[in-house]
Amino acid sequence: MKTYLRKNLAGLSLAVLLVFGLGACQDKEDQPDPNASPNVAINEWIKDVMDEVYYWLEDMRTPLAKNSDPEDYFESLLNRPTDRFSDIFPDYQELMNSLQGVNREAGYEILLARESNQNENVLAFVVYTKKGSPAQSAGLLRGDIITQINGQTMTLSNYQSLLRQRSENHTVNFFRFDPSTSTYRPQPQISLQTLSLAENPNFLDTIYTVNNQKIGYVVYHFFAPGVDGDNRYDNQMDEIFGRFKAEGINHLILDFRYNGGGFVGSAVNLASLIAPNVTSQDIFSRTKYNSFLSQFQQIRDLEIRRFNTKVQNLGNTLEGNRVHIITSGRTASASELIINGLKPYMNVFLIGGRTVGKNVGSIAFEDEGNPNNKYGILPIVTMIFNKDGNSDYTNGFTPNIEANELSQQVLLPLGDRNEYLLSLAIQQITGVGARVNLVERTEIGSSFENKSRFGQIIEDKIQIKNSH
């Protein structure tokens, strides 16, 4: 029988070693057939993993033939449509890099909308560029509108294929808003190179003083502790909240509008900076595993996730025991875990769009025993509840104030007090807000949904590796 001790992101606060199988050696009859398709060994590995960890174990489907394409084989096992999120990736290392914010790219993110109901043209609104990226160096700005990639105009029929060309060197034609004429003007075409870029999720933090109210504002793009085993990003978040506390803020705005999820450990770290009066004895979340894993005491020990004790915690300073969170249709997974986990402790006020609705978590698996298997899989392994046992948000969280940032005529810089979603949050706190002229736009997608980390809650308390 095969045994699986899965190894996941060695060094990233991986605290527990779990033995999921019961045997320690490979039986003679399990030796691989040298004449078999290489897909057979890969698919046997996929099935062995799923037989132990898949959350919907009793509802797993009958698989395709073992020599099938591994992506098709994996898909055939899944409990669709209940399972919306399990996924397989052709390269495990690329997957792990992406989960930590490391990707080969030009360094800009976009929201997509139809130009008009009278034509089929598609517009790509630049929502931010990444620090040190080719896009930033080329002068691309938030609010610019891309109409062509590699000289081709984007339309409803071709925009998805054109967007895939952004993974290689490419050109963009775009328009920029001219405030002197209140119109968009065409700009010279720019060429963008791609490179391996490590994105810092701590995009922006600042403090506003409005009507004697001190407001801390954080734009956080995904949950990752750091890169290659360090905790640099979590430590930076601690520093941000330390400054907020030292400056005496009494209101907090978290901007999760582009945050599609990430590692549970980083979610616990952030929540521990916000919830009032919490210590390492207080429960942040409860985790449920499948019927097989729940037999083991090591697993049961992981079913409760507690807060960390943080000297930078500012929960007691927040007026009305309230945190304001900016959301959108791209706010998912670990972001929703924060919302759900804080609700038993404080008033969580949402501004923006309905969130995705993901209350289940994954672990990333690789096949260390087969050098010819480059695949990585992210099966759903857990369902996550808050302290009170609530996990009923599969349809997403509905905002208290509903708004879409593409309703602005032009996307103002993130952090600008007049930026639409931020101004709504400030107005809710202070009664002072900017007047925004709204336009009608039909949003059809974004660049965020194509990222490996989008919609992920990654369990990072389990260290796992293959053993035969």
CB 270 within 8 Å of CB 284? no
- Beta strand ranges found along 282-438 (DSSP E): 283-288, 304-306, 322-327, 347-352, 360-362, 365-366, 376-378, 380-386, 401-402
Superfamily of domain 102-197: PDZ domain (2.30.42.10)
Tokens of 198: 């490590």
Measured distance CA(321)–CA(74) in Å, rounded: 45
In tens, the pLDDT along 407-426 reads 999 999 999 999 999 999 99
Interval 250-283: pLDDT, tens? 999 999 999 999 999 999 999 999 999 999 999 9
The answer as to CATH 3.40.710.10 being correct for domain 200-361+384-435 is no
Cα–Cα nearest to 327, from 274, 403, 252: 403
CA distance linking residue 465 with residue 18, whole number of Å: 10
Nearest to 155 by CA among 123, 117, 193, 190: 123
What is each CA distance from 369 to 2, 6, 45, 54, 358, in whole angstroms? 11, 11, 9, 20, 32
In whole numbers, what is the pLDDT of the chain averaged over residues? 90
If pLDDT is split at 50, 70 and 90, which confidence band does 31 have? low
Question: Is it the case that residue 5 has pLDDT exceeding 60?
Answer: no
pTM: 0.90
What is the domain partition of the chain in residue ranges? 3-98, 102-197, 200-361+384-435
pLDDT at 133 over 80: yes
CA 13 to chain centre: 19
Burial of residue 360 (number of CB atoms within 10 Å: 0-12, 13-18, 19+): buried
Do 112 and 147 contact (CB within 8 A), yes or no? Answer: no
